[in-house]
Copies of this chain bind each other. A is one copy, B any other.
Protein backbone atom coordinates (compact mmCIF):
# COMPACT_ATOMS: atom_id res chain seq x y z
CA UNK A 1 0.00 0.00 0.00
CA UNK A 2 1.32 3.45 -0.88
CA UNK A 3 2.00 6.01 1.81
CA UNK A 4 -0.86 8.27 0.80
CA UNK A 5 -3.43 5.51 1.33
CA UNK A 6 -1.76 4.47 4.56
CA UNK A 7 -2.08 8.01 5.89
CA UNK A 8 -5.70 8.18 4.78
CA UNK A 9 -6.62 4.91 6.49
CA UNK A 10 -4.87 5.81 9.71
CA UNK A 11 -6.43 9.26 9.76
CA UNK A 12 -9.89 7.81 9.12
CA UNK A 13 -9.58 5.53 12.11
CA UNK A 14 -8.24 8.23 14.40
CA UNK A 15 -10.63 11.02 13.39
CA UNK A 16 -13.54 8.62 13.83
CA UNK A 17 -12.60 7.65 17.36
CA UNK A 18 -11.11 10.85 18.74
CA UNK A 19 -12.59 13.58 16.58
CA UNK A 20 -10.91 16.35 14.63
CA UNK A 21 -9.29 18.45 17.33
CA UNK A 22 -8.14 15.55 19.48
CA UNK A 23 -6.33 13.88 16.62
CA UNK A 24 -2.84 15.30 16.17
CA UNK A 25 -0.95 14.91 12.94
CA UNK A 26 2.05 13.73 14.93
CA UNK A 27 -0.04 10.77 16.06
CA UNK A 28 -1.31 10.10 12.55
CA UNK A 29 2.28 10.18 11.31
CA UNK A 30 3.47 7.83 14.02
CA UNK A 31 0.61 5.34 13.53
CA UNK A 32 1.04 5.42 9.76
CA UNK A 33 4.83 5.09 10.10
CA UNK A 34 5.59 8.18 8.02
CA UNK A 35 6.97 11.60 8.82
CA UNK A 36 4.69 14.49 9.65
CA UNK A 37 6.06 16.41 6.67
CA UNK A 38 4.83 13.74 4.30
CA UNK A 39 1.26 14.30 5.43
CA UNK A 40 1.61 17.95 4.47
CA UNK A 41 3.17 17.07 1.16
CA UNK A 42 0.19 14.84 0.27
CA UNK A 43 -2.69 16.80 1.81
CA UNK A 44 -1.32 20.35 2.23
CA UNK A 45 -2.89 20.87 5.69
CA UNK A 46 -4.99 19.21 8.40
CA UNK A 47 -8.35 20.40 7.10
CA UNK A 48 -7.64 19.04 3.64
CA UNK A 49 -6.74 15.68 5.12
CA UNK A 50 -9.97 15.75 7.10
CA UNK A 51 -12.05 16.48 4.00
CA UNK A 52 -10.34 13.63 2.17
CA UNK A 53 -11.20 11.35 5.07
CA UNK A 54 -14.83 12.47 5.03
CA UNK A 55 -15.08 11.92 1.29
CA UNK A 56 -13.67 8.42 1.71
CA UNK A 57 -16.00 7.69 4.61
CA UNK A 58 -19.16 8.85 2.89
CA UNK A 59 -18.41 6.93 -0.29
CA UNK A 60 -20.58 3.83 0.50
CA UNK A 61 -23.48 6.04 1.60
CA UNK A 62 -26.00 5.63 -1.18
CA UNK A 63 -29.36 4.05 -1.90
CA UNK A 64 -29.32 1.13 -4.29
CA UNK A 65 -32.62 1.07 -6.19
CA UNK A 66 -32.23 -2.52 -7.39
CA UNK A 67 -32.35 -3.69 -3.80
CA UNK A 68 -35.65 -2.03 -3.10
CA UNK A 69 -38.65 -2.55 -5.37
CA UNK A 70 -38.71 -6.31 -5.63
CA UNK A 71 -41.12 -7.35 -2.91
CA UNK A 72 -44.85 -7.58 -2.49
CA UNK A 73 -46.23 -4.34 -1.13
CA UNK A 74 -46.93 -5.18 2.52
CA UNK A 75 -43.52 -6.76 3.03
CA UNK A 76 -41.72 -3.86 1.39
CA UNK A 77 -41.75 -1.82 4.57
CA UNK A 78 -40.08 -4.63 6.52
CA UNK A 79 -37.63 -5.08 3.67
CA UNK A 80 -36.70 -1.41 3.88
CA UNK A 81 -36.25 -1.76 7.63
CA UNK A 82 -33.89 -4.68 7.07
CA UNK A 83 -31.91 -2.70 4.49
CA UNK A 84 -31.55 0.25 6.85
CA UNK A 85 -30.49 -1.98 9.71
CA UNK A 86 -28.12 -3.91 7.46
CA UNK A 87 -26.47 -0.75 6.24
CA UNK A 88 -25.96 0.50 9.77
CA UNK A 89 -24.51 -2.84 10.84
CA UNK A 90 -22.04 -2.83 7.97
CA UNK A 91 -20.96 0.74 8.64
CA UNK A 92 -21.09 1.01 12.43
CA UNK A 93 -17.85 2.93 12.74
CA UNK A 94 -18.60 5.61 10.20
CA UNK A 95 -22.22 5.86 11.33
CA UNK A 96 -21.02 6.49 14.87
CA UNK A 97 -18.61 9.04 13.45
CA UNK A 98 -21.27 10.95 11.54
CA UNK A 99 -23.71 10.81 14.43
CA UNK A 100 -21.15 12.32 16.78
CA UNK A 101 -20.46 14.99 14.15
CA UNK A 102 -24.12 15.94 14.15
CA UNK A 103 -24.05 16.33 17.92
CA UNK A 104 -20.90 18.43 18.17
CA UNK A 105 -20.01 21.95 17.23
CA UNK A 106 -17.02 20.31 15.62
CA UNK A 107 -15.61 20.75 12.16
CA UNK A 108 -18.36 19.53 9.85
CA UNK A 109 -18.33 20.72 6.26
CA UNK A 110 -21.89 21.43 5.21
CA UNK A 111 -21.79 19.48 1.96
CA UNK A 112 -21.23 16.18 3.77
CA UNK A 113 -23.71 17.15 6.41
CA UNK A 114 -26.49 17.79 3.91
CA UNK A 115 -25.62 14.78 1.81
CA UNK A 116 -26.22 12.47 4.80
CA UNK A 117 -29.42 14.32 5.68
CA UNK A 118 -30.70 14.08 2.11
CA UNK A 119 -30.09 10.35 2.06
CA UNK A 120 -31.98 10.01 5.31
CA UNK A 121 -34.94 11.99 4.01
CA UNK A 122 -34.97 10.04 0.79
CA UNK A 123 -35.05 6.80 2.74
CA UNK A 124 -37.88 8.02 4.92
CA UNK A 125 -39.85 8.90 1.80
CA UNK A 126 -39.31 5.40 0.48
CA UNK A 127 -40.82 3.99 3.69
CA UNK A 128 -43.70 6.46 3.53
CA UNK A 129 -44.30 5.50 -0.09
CA UNK A 130 -44.37 1.79 0.77
CA UNK A 131 -46.83 2.49 3.58
CA UNK A 132 -49.09 4.47 1.24
CA UNK A 133 -48.92 1.71 -1.37
CA UNK A 134 -50.00 -0.78 1.29
CA UNK A 135 -52.88 1.45 2.26
CA UNK A 136 -54.01 1.87 -1.33
CA UNK A 137 -53.92 -1.86 -1.98
CA UNK A 138 -55.92 -2.38 1.19
CA UNK A 139 -53.34 -4.49 3.00
CA UNK A 140 -52.42 -1.82 5.56
CA UNK A 141 -54.75 0.15 7.83
CA UNK A 142 -55.88 3.44 6.28
CA UNK A 143 -56.08 5.07 9.71
CA UNK A 144 -52.45 6.06 10.10
CA UNK A 145 -50.63 9.06 8.64
CA UNK A 146 -48.04 7.45 6.36
CA UNK A 147 -45.53 10.33 6.61
CA UNK A 148 -45.60 10.55 10.39
CA UNK A 149 -45.51 6.81 10.75
CA UNK A 150 -42.54 6.51 8.42
CA UNK A 151 -40.77 9.17 10.46
CA UNK A 152 -41.48 7.21 13.62
CA UNK A 153 -40.14 3.99 12.12
CA UNK A 154 -36.90 5.71 11.13
CA UNK A 155 -36.60 7.41 14.52
CA UNK A 156 -37.06 4.09 16.25
CA UNK A 157 -34.38 2.53 14.10
CA UNK A 158 -32.06 5.38 15.01
CA UNK A 159 -32.87 4.86 18.67
CA UNK A 160 -32.00 1.19 18.37
CA UNK A 161 -28.77 2.24 16.69
CA UNK A 162 -27.93 4.60 19.54
CA UNK A 163 -28.65 1.87 22.06
CA UNK A 164 -26.30 -0.47 20.21
CA UNK A 165 -23.60 2.20 19.87
CA UNK A 166 -23.63 3.20 23.51
CA UNK A 167 -22.99 -0.44 24.19
CA UNK A 168 -25.64 -1.33 26.68
CA UNK A 169 -25.05 -5.04 26.88
CA UNK A 170 -28.09 -6.12 28.85
CA UNK A 171 -31.38 -7.83 27.95
CA UNK A 172 -32.68 -6.57 24.60
CA UNK A 173 -30.33 -7.07 21.63
CA UNK A 174 -30.68 -4.82 18.57
CA UNK A 175 -32.06 -7.75 16.60
CA UNK A 176 -34.71 -8.34 19.24
CA UNK A 177 -35.63 -4.66 19.16
CA UNK A 178 -35.91 -4.63 15.38
CA UNK A 179 -38.24 -7.63 15.55
CA UNK A 180 -40.33 -5.85 18.18
CA UNK A 181 -40.35 -2.74 15.96
CA UNK A 182 -41.63 -4.68 12.97
CA UNK A 183 -44.28 -6.40 15.04
CA UNK A 184 -45.54 -3.17 16.59
CA UNK A 185 -45.05 -0.63 13.81
CA UNK A 186 -45.80 -2.76 10.75
CA UNK A 187 -47.50 -6.09 11.45
CA UNK A 188 -50.04 -4.56 13.79
CA UNK A 189 -51.20 -2.32 10.93
CA UNK A 190 -51.99 -5.19 8.60
CA UNK A 191 -55.63 -5.57 7.65
CA UNK A 192 -56.80 -9.09 8.41
Q: Which residues of A contact B (CB under 8 A)?
A: 17-22, 96, 99-100, 102-106, 117, 120-121, 144-145, 147-149, 151-152, 154-163, 165-166, 168, 170-172, 176-177, 180-181, 183-185, 188
Contact = CB atoms under 8 A, between A and B. Distances in A.
Contact of A180 (B17, B105, B152): B152
A12 to B, nearest CB: 14
A22 B107 CA distance: 11
Given A19-B19, A180-B145, A163 B172 contact: no
A170 to B, nearest CB: 7
Contact of A18 (B18, B105, B163): B105
B155 A177 contact: yes
Given A21-B22, A162-B159, A180 B149 contact: yes
A81 B120 CA distance: 26
A99 B176 CA distance: 23
A89 to B, nearest CB: 16
Given A117-B168, A147-B171, A172-B147, A184 B152 contact: yes
Nearest to A186: B184
A171 B188 contact: no
Contacts of A144: 183-184
A110 to B, nearest CB: 13
Given A104-B100, A172-B148, A160 B166 contact: no
Contacts of A100: 100, 103-104
Contacts of A22: 19-22, 106
A25 to B, nearest CB: 14
Contacts of A172: 147-148, 151-152
